[in-house]
Chain A
Amino acid sequence: MMKSDFWRAFARNKGAVLGLVILIAIVALAAFASFLFPGDPWEMATAPFQPPLSEDALLGSDMLGRDIASGIAHGARVSLLIGLTSTAAALAIGVTLGALAGFHGGRIDDAIMRFTELFQTIPNFVLAVVLVAIFTPSLTTIVAAIAIVSWPPLARLARAEFLSLRTREFVQAAITTGQSNTTIILRQILPNSLSPIIVSASLMVATAILLESSLSFLGLGDPNAMSWGYMIGAARTVIRQAWWMSVFPGLAIVLTVLALNLVGEGLNDALNPKLARSRG
C-alpha cells in the first residue's frame, strides 16, 4: 500500500521518471563496461585523433588513440562509485553531528553549529583541492575530501529535524520509559527524519560527481582510474582540432547529474507530499 502510493507520487513527476530511466541506463553502462569495452581504457585502441563514427571508435579517439566511448563507460564506474561512497561518508559525518546538535541542544548545539558554520564559510572546492593535493590523489583521498567539504548542509538539515521531533510526544514517551539517548536517537527520531535526508542525499550524489569531475579535470583524479573529468582536462589543449574529446565526456556528466537531480525532485514529491503540493 505504502509502496504503491510512493510510486504513484513519484511517477506523477514526468521528469523524475525520465531521470530514473537515464540513471538506470548509466548504471547498466557502468556495470557492463568491461563486457561492452573489453580491454584497458588507458590502452591505445586505434589511431590517434580519429573523429566520431570512425570504424573502430564510435565516439572517436583521443590524442593517444584511446577509445573515447570505452573511457566514458569505464569512467561511469568511477563517477558513480565516488558519488555514492562520498555521499555515504558525508551522511555519516553530517547526520551524526546534526543529530547530536539537535538532540542535546544548548552548549553542544552551539559548538557543533559554530563548527558547521566554519566549514560552510571555507571555499569548499579550494579545501578539496588542497586536501587531495597534500594527501596525494587516490580514490580514498578524493572520497574523503568530497565528504569533508559536503557534510554541512546535511548537518543543518538533520539538526532542524531533530530539534522539531525532540519535543514530540512519542519522543517524550520514550524518554519517560527510560530508553537511552542512543536508542532514542537511532530508533525513535532518526527513522522519522529520514525522508528529507534521503532527498538531500540523492541531490548530494550529483554534487559529489560534479566535484570529482572538477578535481580530476585539474589533474587531481586517481591516476589509475579513468574518469570523465580527466578526459576533458586532458583534451582541453587540443579542443581546437578535436572537439569530440571534450564534448562527449562532458555530455556524460551532464546526463548523469541531470538524471540524479530529476530523481531527487521526484523523491521529494513522493516523500514530502505536503511540500510538493504547496509548491508553485
Chain B
Amino acid sequence: MLGFAQLFASRLVKAAAILIAIVVMNFFLVHAAPGDPAMVMAGEAGAADEKFVAQLRQQFGLDRPIYEQLGTYVGKVVQGDLGYSYRQQRPVWDILAERLPATLVLTLTAFVLALAAGVALGTLAAVAVGTWADSAITVIALLAYATPIYWIGLMLSLLFSIQLGWLPAFGYETVGAGYTGLAHAADVAAHLVLPVITLALFYMAGYARLTRASMLEVRSLDFVKTAKAKGLPQRRIVTRHVLRNAILPVITVAGIQAGQLVGGSILIETVFAWPGIGRLAFEAVLQRDYQVLLGIFLVTSVMVILFNILTDILYGLVDPRIQVSQ
C-alpha cells in the first residue's frame, strides 16, 4: 500500500502548489479588472464620490504595496473569505456555497455516466470491430465531438420537453409542487436527466473512441495471446485482461478533462436554468460582477483538483501494478 500512499501524498503536494498559483493568479486578475478595485466596488455599490472611493481604498488596503496586498488576499482566501459582492450585497463565499451542491450533483453524475457509458460503448465497438455497431459508435462519437454542448442541450429540450413533453426543460425541481421525501427525489432526478445527458455526451464520445483504440492495441499484446492459448473464455479475456489494461489511458484523459467538464457546466446550467455555480457565472457575466466571477474561477479550480485526486484513486484501484506493491 506504500506505493499508492506515496503517490497520493505527492499528488496532494502538487495540488496544493497548483492551488496557491491559482490564488495568486486570481489576485492579479482582480487587479486587472477595469478601473481600480475601489472604483469598481464603488461603481457596483452605486456611489462614486471621491471620499467614498478613498475610504474604500484605505479599507481594502489598496494604498499598500502590491506584495502586501497579495499577502492580505491570500490570508483572506485561506480563511474562506472570497470578497464581497456589492451587486448582491452578500459575501461571495455565501453566494457560492448556496449554489455549490447543485453543480456537484450535476458534474459528478455526468462524469460517472460519461466514463461508464464511454468505456462500455468503446468496449462494444472494439469487440465488434468492423461491424455496423462499431461504425455507428464511431460516427456518433465524431458528431458528438463536433457539436457545441449548449446546442445539444437546446435540441434535446426542444425534442424531449417541448415536443414530447417527457421531461422538464429547466430548473431543479417543480416550483410550488411541495413534494417531500421520495417524490421530491424523483422530481429532482427527472430535472437532472437532460442536463446530465447533455454534459456527459461529449465526454462519453471521447472516452468511447479512446477505449476502442486502447483495447485494439492491448488485444494484440502477448499476455492476451497467452490467455487465449490457456483456453480462457472470451468474456473473461475481454473484461479481466484487455479492458483492465486498456482502461488506464482513459482514466488519465478523464482526469485531464475534468476541468473542461466543470467549465462545460456553465453552458449546461445556463441552458437548463440549473441553479448551480455555472448559472451563477452566467448571471455574474451579465451583471459584470467580477468578485463573484473570480470566486467562481477559484472554486471551480478547486473542483478540478478534487476530480483529479478522484481519478488518481480510481487509477490506483484499477492498475494491478500498484496493487502488487502492497
Contacts and interface: CB of A to CB of B under 8 A. Distances in A.
Interface stretch (A57-65, A80-88, A187-195, A210-218): A210-218
B266 A232 contact: no
Nearest to A236: B154
A218 B282 contact: yes
Contact of B285 (A124, A129, A214, A240): A129
A126 B26 CA distance: 12
B42 interface: no
A250 B146 contact: no
B256 A120 contact: yes
B29 A134 contact: yes
Interface stretch (B61-69, B81-89, B286-294, B315-323): B286-294
Most buried by B among A123, A127, A133: A123
Interface stretch (B182-190, B192-200, B301-309): B301-309
A229 B271 CA distance: 13
Contacts of B158: 239, 243, 246
Given A135-B32, A219-B285, A280-B129, A126 B296 contact: yes
B213 A280 contact: yes
B286 A219 contact: yes
B22 interface: yes
A129 B266 contact: yes
A246 B262 contact: no
A261 B146 contact: yes
A267 interface: no
Contacts of B212: 280
Contacts of B151: 232, 246, 250, 253-254
B18 A117 contact: yes
A274 to B, nearest CB: 14
Interface in B145-171: 145-151, 154-155, 157-158, 162
A108 to B, nearest CB: 18
A128 B165 CA distance: 35
B33 interface: yes
A258 interface: yes
Interface residues of A, number: 43
A258 B142 contact: yes
A173 interface: no
Contacts of A129: 266, 281, 285, 293
B259 interface: yes
B203 to A, nearest CB: 13
A257 interface: yes
B270 A218 contact: yes
Contacts of A131: 29
Contacts of A100: none
B84 to A, nearest CB: 18
B34 interface: yes
A263 B308 CA distance: 32
A232 B154 contact: yes
Interface string A211-244: 0011001111000000001001000100110010
B206 interface: no
A249 B290 CA distance: 30
Given A125-B264, A129-B281, A280-B129, A217 B32 contact: no
Given A126-B300, A218-B266, A280-B212, A239 B286 contact: no
A254 B216 CA distance: 29
A247 interface: yes
A134 B297 CA distance: 12
A124 B162 contact: no
A279 B212 CA distance: 11
A210 B147 CA distance: 8
B263 interface: yes
Interface string B244-257: 00000000000010
A122 interface: yes
A36 interface: no
Contacts of A123: 259-260, 262-263, 297, 300-301, 303-304
Smallest CB-CB A-B distances: 9 pairs: A125-B263, A280-B216, A258-B146, A250-B151, A257-B146, A123-B263, A123-B259, A123-B262, A123-B300
9 contacts: A121-B259, A126-B297, A126-B300, A133-B288, A133-B293, A232-B154, A254-B147, A254-B148, A258-B146
Interface of B: 17-18, 21-22, 29, 32-34, 126, 129, 142-143, 145-151, 154-155, 157-158, 162, 212-213, 216-217, 256, 259-260, 262-264, 266-267, 270-271, 281-282, 284-286, 288, 290, 293-294, 296-297, 300-301, 303-305, 308
Interface of A: 114, 117-118, 120-127, 129-131, 133-136, 206, 210, 213-214, 217-220, 229, 232, 236, 239-240, 243, 246-247, 250, 253-254, 257-258, 261-262, 279-280
Given A130-B29, A246-B158, 13 more contacts: A121-B301, A121-B308, A123-B260, A125-B263, A126-B296, A130-B294, A134-B32, A210-B148, A217-B148, A250-B155, A254-B151, A257-B145, A261-B145
